[in-house]
Amino acid sequence: MTIENEAAKTPSIMEQLVTEHEQLVVVPAVSDIVTGMILDKARNAMYLDLGNLGVGVIYGRELFDDMDTFKNAKIGDPIQATIQTLENEDGYVELSLRSATRERSWDELRRKLDQGDIFSTEILDANKGGLIVRVNGVTGFLPVSQLAPDHYPRVEGGDKNQILTRLKSYTGQNFKVKVITAGQDDEKLIVSEKAAVGDEMSELLKNLKEGKVIKGEVSGVVDFGVFVKFQEQNQDLEGLVHISELAWQRIDNPSDYLQPGEKVEAKVIGVDGLRISLSIKQLKDDPWKSVSERYKLGDKVTGEVLKVTPFGGFVKLDQDIHGLVHISELPAAAQKDPESVLTIGKDKEFTIISLEPNEHRLGLSLRSAAEREPKEIKKKTVKKEAAKEEATEEVAKEAKTIKETKVGSEDKPKKKTAAKKKTTKKATKKKTAKAE
């Protein structure tokens, strides 16, 4: 081996120094996060030992973060900070505790998102869209749609002010949530209470089979139905009885039928994810199965007008059976203004004109026999005229077909006719001669 090759393999003194003291040549940049030990704490400043970098200082507002790091830190504690200036006029490395904490906060939030952590967070405030929370010093949002059933604001008529009042009542409470969105670039943090209770609820709902009868309490009344809270395996659950599943008769306003706090029995008719569907009416006999025993076509019945619409009115015949009088079955003078003959809450005599038990439909009429008869006669007349027209058209078509068949041979029929006339005259003369 040559001396040159041997020299090439031998590291220089500088290379040896760099290898042995690598940290000496690593120069941090602005915005890098460094770790130091707390040397001293003043009212508006904190000094850190940064080792080879010297002494760092954190001033004023850069001391304070949402995690109260400065408040809880003690001399000798290690702490992370972000470099703001490598050397200020006093020769210190100027740092920010707030920026470093924010980085750590977002790192922790992303970890929570990836691992699906469930944790408790305090509700700070509310707006019409949901609740304001703070997680790891970062302000986030819990939308109304992500609230668990227990906290979902059920307000009759969907009044936004009442919804806001209900949401604000949660301020100061702690909810269990999961992170579902953590975007540091756009400072977007969204959490979900529904997702947090989802796993626990899913296991519980596996044992809640369709057909099971539950006993519960009305926890909320809305336009589309009522919510019922009940217990399953010592856990609070809540289901919805849709307006169509409240009773066999027509219900326009659930609050007229049930009120919050009332005790009810209901049947489980569906479990979809965390959504439980219930029915109250299915625990009662269907009155429409025996409707034909009480009402017949042509019967005169008295019923109470429940609702008037542009297309007619809904009428209560008894507690279970409601019927419809269509606008076409009102007197002619009232068809443009149904309210002129139908008054909500007033009784009226009607005629039953249709009965469909399987469809839960019963048709009524307010037209008199005199008004109905001309209409029926008119229908029959129209049918007869249509039949007559059709027959005439058929005769015309047949005549046309015959005519088209004889096209080109019109002379022959004429000759035959002339010959036939001559033969008839000869026969007549012979008969006359014999008679004489």
CATH topology classification for 20-103? OB fold (Dihydrolipoamide Acetyltransferase, E2P) (2.40.50)
pLDDT bucket at 388, cuts 50 / 70 / 90: low
Average confidence (pLDDT) over 377-398: 49
The top-scoring range by mean pLDDT among 192-201, 276-285, 415-424 is 276-285
How many other C-beta atoms are found inside a 10 Å radius of the C-beta of residue 91?
Answer: 9
pLDDT at 134: 87
DSSP secondary structure, 142-168, as one string: EEGGGS-GGG----GGG-HHHHHHHHH
pLDDT value at residue 392? 52
Q: Looking at residue 19, what is its pLDDT?
A: 56
pLDDT in tens, 83-141: 989 888 888 999 988 776 777 788 889 999 999 899 999 999 999 899 999 888 788 99
Residue 17: pLDDT over 80: no
Q: Residue 262: what pLDDT? A: 93
Q: Where are the domains of the chain?
A: 20-103, 116-200, 207-283, 291-371
Which of 181, 28, 41 is closest to 97 using CA atoms? 41
DSSP assignment of 340-400 equals GT--TT-EEEEEEEEEEGGGTEEEEE---HHHHHHHHHHHHHHHHHHHHHHHHHHHHHHHH
- Span 388-404, mean pLDDT? 52
* CA distances from residue 92 to 24, 28, 34, 409 in whole angstroms, order as listed: 17, 14, 14, 126
Q: Which of 139, 120, 118 is nearest to 130 (CA)?
A: 139
DSSP code for 220: E
CA-wise closest residue to 123 among 193, 174, 55, 61: 174
Residue reference for tokens 């100061």: 172
Average pLDDT over residues 228-254: 88
Residue 343 contacts residue 325 (beta carbons within 8 Å):
no
Residue 400 CB neighbours (<10 A): 10
Mean pLDDT (whole number) for 15-35: 66
Residue 433 has what pLDDT?
46
Q: Which two tokens stand for residue 143?
A: 């939308």
Looking at the whole model, is its pTM more than 0.85?
no
| Residue listed under structure tokens 């029959």 | 380
Is 291-371 the same fold as 207-283?
Answer: yes
Which residues does 342 contact at the CB level (< 8 Å), separation at least 6? 305, 308, 313, 325, 330, 334, 348
Residues 304-329 pLDDT 10s: 999 898 889 999 998 889 999 999 99
Residue 7's pLDDT is 47
CATH 3.30.565.10 fits 116-200, yes or no: no
Domain 291-371 in CATH 2.40.50.140: yes
Report the CATH architecture of 207-283: Beta Barrel (2.40)
Distance CA 60, CA 28 (A): 23
CB 238 within 8 A of CB 228: yes
Q: Which one of 66-70, 267-271, 383-387, 397-401 scores highest in mean pLDDT?
A: 267-271
Q: What is the mean pLDDT of residues 400-426?
A: 47
Mean pLDDT of 376-404: 49
Q: How many residues does the chain have?
A: 436
pLDDT reading at 420 higher than 90: no
Cβ-contact 333, 319 below 8 angstroms: no
